Structure 1
Amino acid sequence: MSTLVLDKAGLSKKQVIAATTIGTALEFYDFTIYSFFAIQIGQLFFPGASPVNQFLLSIGVFGVGFVVRPLGGIVIGAYADRVGRKKAMVLTIMLMALSCAMIACAPPYAVAGMVAPFIVLAARLIQGFAAGGEFGPGTTLLVEYATDQTRAFFASWNFAATALGLALGALVATLVNVALPKQAVLDWGWRLPFLLGIVAAPAGMLIRRRLEETLVDRAPGAPRPQGALKAALTTHLKLTILGTFAELGGSVSVYITAFFLPSHAVRALHLSPTAAVSSGVVSSLVLFVAAPIAGRLADRFTRKSVLVISRVIMLLAVYPAFAFLGAHPSMTALCIISGLLAVFVAGQIVPVLVMIPELFPKHVRATGIALTYVVSASFFGGFSPFIASWLVAQTGNPLAPAWYVAAACAISLIPVIWLKDRTGQPLA
């Protein structure tokens, strides 16, 4: 089945992977550049507030994207299971391009008054909705395009794309801030990265239109399958719950190591912002390289073996890693620790990423992966930096976040016991 799809579409493996993952990369590119220019956006769109409140309001608008991500995952995932993965993916990349265009072209408060912040708010809601809906159909299509022996490798590229988007966003934002005077960045330079996002979207859309649809129509006379969302929450509720908690360890690990740790190093260890940005780029690049390697290993040695080994190593290594960094704070140590932990983050996330869609039937697959991944990433992962900061404040112990990661890894080992490993087996 998978080989026939590739032949009919006339696309190479690299083209299939690029077409499928470009939306995911764009999502995290947009995610990164907004956070880098939150101060400028706050000054332009919330000028009446104090500098602190400008930043908080800008970050608040950024955060609303996380609120609608689960909704996007459910709605677009169900759409992908009903009308096709390809149509859903074309829709999400169109919405992402619209979001980038709205922010890039939004008039500041001085020109449009109260309309200005609402344009940015609407753009973030659209981007969050599209981002939530991107991962389920994209991962599902990659899994269905692959052969039985390459599914984990194909699926791994959707996670690798998130890391690539983070790295590109950090790189572009850094180049803009270095190449332009501070006033030029505030006046117009901050818009340039969003304009680049608009350019990337149509190219991805054209490539995606060439993909062959993998959702096969029902045979004539066959009964209509149960609605995807209803099926995921009733018939397959146990799998949905197990999958969500199996994702927990990876979600917490990636948000703590990639997002919390760099800022923690600046606040608690008094390292420079340059060190934080450098470690973020290093961890993102390591994730990009490690994800497909983890996919290859999961195809060869089974999903569970790679997942359990990576999760146990993360559980055992995270506290010594934080302790070493605390005892030897430097940019070099921060980059090394971030890079090493990123290897075991990839080893946790990639196997689960392919195990879940392998267990859901075709007509529920995109919704199932969207529910498990997006809910886990949005709630368990998204709140991890806040929880970690709260733990440090309450305990006074800068190593408390390491215990939090270790606990998440330990808890998320339990549901793996009940998940079936279908390495090398045909999809249902």
Structure 2
Amino acid sequence: MLTLALDSASLSKRQVIVATTLGTALEFYDFTIYSFFAIQIGQLFFPSASPVNQFLLSIGVFGVGFVVRPLGGIVIGAYADRVGRKKAMVLTIMMMALSCALIACAPTYAVAGIAAPFIVLAARLIQGFAAGGEFGPGTTLLVEYATDNTRAFFASWNFAATALGLALGAVVATLVNVALPKDAVLEWGWRVPFLLGIVAAPAGMLIRRRLEETLTHTSSGTKRPSGALKAALTTHLKLTVLGTFAELGGSVSVYVTAFFLPSHGVRALHLSPTSAVVSGVVSSLMLFAAAPLAGRLADRFSRKRVLVISRVVLLLSVYPAFAMLGAHPSMLMLCAVSAFLAIFVAGQIVPVLVMIPELFPKDVRATGIALTYVVSASFFGGFSPFIASWLVAQTGNPLAPAWYVAVACAVSLVPVIWLRDRTGEALD
């Protein structure tokens, strides 16, 4: 028989949130840092290729992390449902620290030859696997720690942590590039942000070890649950499918607004690279601030109400926002549009993020989140910047990505009809 252990006396609520979300923030910090230094990594690890191919190979290695994220989510999610959320979270943060260390200390091609890019590739595989496995156990633990009236607020912090990681990554990368000469950045400066990523891991592991496990097993001799993945794909298949498509709108929206829009401002609107970096930081900080607010509103006014209102507002406003930016391109307008859209992106992601674990039983919960959120983010979200760029190239219309976001939001409204809203109800 399974029971929930909710005695969190050893840690305050604030410490529980920090301990749980630190790994998620580290994941997206590492994500951002690699993308900012993709050019230097390409030059050092793929020197025999042309400059264009150096960049493409570097980005290709970066993209491998997306490929293994669903696998990590499924494997570590099932592990969390079998042996506990706490053990799974300690494992993922250790793997993230290892990936940062491998990249930070990796010998270049000039030193290690063909082994050099394979070391970076291995690091990205580990990081992607751990990143995929981080979100399910982390969100599950937050939901199970919370009271019936604070579950959305607690869960919101795992999404807020992704935004904080993005903002910190952009700030650290900017400081390195501003503080060091170009040659120093290429020679050793690009390693510094990865070294900083390692520092946060031991602190996270120490705090996470103090967490009370929310999934415990009685000593009655019953076997621990197994087959969480099978249950999610058979007994709970309808919920898994509905949850994945309910997440679609949020996944597409966040990747287009947070990742595509800043670079779109540089390529299509001829704004400066500084404008892209600043708008990226502004968007991330707005997501960080809006997520807990969305959680509070979802706890008070119901998940579906906040979700539907936010999704409909974003659907109706994304095209006018893109059009206004196209008509008045400037760093200020790019930041304003990014910040405005970020509010409603958070408003549609957070309610779904808590609705899904509320509907899965506790012995399938972490796996269920992995199959819905991680798969949706990896496939629908991860390919969104590419699809948005392709639409601009094919149509010649810089506003085409706005239609893509609007369609994704409209499609993902449909499965919400069949999702039960459990606002204020007992979890188990």
TM-score by length of 1: 0.98
Any stretches of 5+ residues in structure 1 without a counterpart? Answer: none
Find the counterpart in structure 2 of residue 328 from structure 1: 328
Counterpart code for 1:279: S
- What is the CA-CA distance between 1:354 and the residue it aligns to? 0.2
Find the counterpart in structure 2 of residue 271 from structure 1: 271
Find the counterpart in structure 2 of residue 427 from structure 1: 427
Find the counterpart in structure 2 of residue 160 from structure 1: 160
Counterpart code for 1:154: F
Worse overlay, 267-276 or 213-222:
213-222
Q: Residue deviations 1:77-96, cap 9 Å, x none?
A: 00000000000000000000
**Closer, same or farther: CA 371–329 of 1 in aligned 2, 3 Å:** same
Contact 2:85 2:138 (8 Å CA) reproduced:
yes
Contact 1:3 1:147 (8 Å CA) reproduced:
no
- What is the CA-CA distance between 1:218 and the residue it aligns to? 4.8
Tell me the number of residue pairs that the alignment of Structure 1 and Structure 2 aligns: 426
1:47-86 correspondence to structure 2 within 5 Å: 47-86=47-86
Find the counterpart in structure 1 of residue 298 from structure 2: 298
Give distance in 1, aligned partners of 2:378 and 2:389. 17
Task: Tell whether 2:314 aligns with 1:314.
Answer: yes
Find the counterpart in structure 2 of residue 23 from structure 1: 23
Give distance in 2, aligned partners of 1:92 and 1:225. 21
Counterpart code for 1:77: G
Find the counterpart in structure 2 of residue 5 from structure 1: 7
Find the counterpart in structure 1 of residue 109 from structure 2: 109
Partner secondary structure for residue 420 of structure 1:
coil
1:403-422 correspondence to structure 2 within 5 Å: 403-422=403-422
Partner secondary structure for residue 425 of structure 1:
coil
Task: Tell whether 2:132 aligns with 1:132.
Answer: yes
- What is the CA-CA distance between 1:220 and the residue it aligns to? 2.2
Give distance in 1, aligned partners of 2:4 and 2:153. 14
CA RMSD of aligned residues (A): 1.2
Partner secondary structure for residue 363 of structure 1:
coil
Counterpart code for 2:8: L
The 4+ residue runs of structure 1 with deviation greater than 6 A are: none
Counterpart code for 1:61: V
Give distance in 1, aligned partners of 2:318 and 2:4. 39
Give distance in 2, aligned partners of 1:225 and 1:200. 33
Contact 1:39 1:58 (8 Å CA) reproduced:
yes
Give distance in 1, aligned partners of 2:83 and 2:68. 22
- What is the CA-CA distance between 1:209 and the residue it aligns to? 0.2
Give distance in 1, aligned partners of 2:63 and 2:6. 42
Give distance in 1, aligned partners of 2:193 and 2:386. 27
Counterpart code for 1:260: F
Question: Percent of counterpart pairs with the same letter?
Answer: 86
Contact 1:32 1:169 (8 Å CA) reproduced:
yes
- What is the CA-CA distance between 1:224 and the residue it aligns to? 5.7
Contact 2:143 2:357 (8 Å CA) reproduced:
yes
Any stretches of 5+ residues in structure 2 without a counterpart? Answer: none
Give distance in 2, aligned partners of 1:327 and 1:262. 16
Find the counterpart in structure 1 of residue 175 from structure 2: 175
Contact 1:132 1:370 (8 Å CA) reproduced:
yes
Give distance in 2, aligned partners of 1:205 and 1:226. 26
Partner secondary structure for residue 5 of structure 1:
coil
Counterpart code for 2:169: G
Give distance in 2, aligned partners of 1:226 and 1:187. 49
Partner secondary structure for residue 90 of structure 2:
helix
Worse overlay, 363-372 or 391-400:
391-400
